[in-house]
Amino acid sequence: MSNLADFIEEYILRRISAEQNNIVILRRNEIAEEIECAPSQISYVLNTRFTIDRGFLVESRRGSGGFIRIARVPIQNMIYQNIAEQIDDATSFAEIKEIVRYLTANSLINGREAALIMQVATFMFQKAAPQERVGLLRSVFLTLADFT
């Protein structure tokens, strides 16, 4: 490893990988003792390398009963959930089309899935009232999150 921060990151990633549910509960002081570093260095790594935009949720409690809970969250799931939250009555067909293009361009869905989503969206915009359409479109994107 090139530096201590890399070593700490690798240590934590190994611990997460060892868990089937991608969630690990650690104690800052125990890690610091094992790696032979200051607890503040553990905090630095958590704050800079285990961030939400890198696909991690970190919960930290300090004190004698303190712990660090780190969960790996697939970034795709966050993207789909974010998309679903943004869909409302004012969302246009063109916006849905752009969302599907974005997902395809970033390899989050393939062409076949894009075609299916666009067919469903076309039907929804032709047949469903805006209030009904919102729930249906949201469920399409949340279903993608469930299957990634």
Question: Going from the N-terminus, what domains does the chain have, and what CATH number goes with each?
Answer: 4-72 (3.30.56.130), 75-146 (no CATH)
User: Residue-wise pLDDT tens for the chain (148 aa)?
Assistant: 469 999 999 999 999 989 888 899 999 889 999 999 998 899 899 999 998 778 888 998 877 667 899 998 877 788 898 899 999 999 999 999 999 999 999 888 999 999 999 999 999 999 999 999 999 999 999 998 877 6
DSSP helix/strand/coil, 44: helix
Pair of tokens at residue 99: 């969302």
Q: Which pLDDT value is given to residue 87? A: 95
Distance between CA atoms of residues 80 and 37, nearest Å: 38
Measure the CA–CA gap between 97 and 31, rounded to whole angstroms: 47
Beta strand extents in the chain (DSSP E only)? 23-26, 56-61, 67-72
Both tokens of residue 85?
Answer: 């939250």
Backbone angles phi, psi at 89, to 5 degrees: -60, -30
Q: Which two tokens stand for residue 65?
A: 């009963």
CA distances to 13, 48, 89 from 38, in Å? 19, 16, 52
Rg (CA), the chain: 21
Q: Residue 62: its pLDDT value, please?
A: 76
Q: Where are the alpha helices (DSSP H) in 18-110?
A: 28-35, 39-49, 75-86, 93-105
> In this predicted structure, what is the pLDDT of residue 106?
84
In the prediction, which pLDDT does 1 show?
A: 44
pLDDT computed for residue 141 by the predictor:
92
Full-model pTM: 0.57
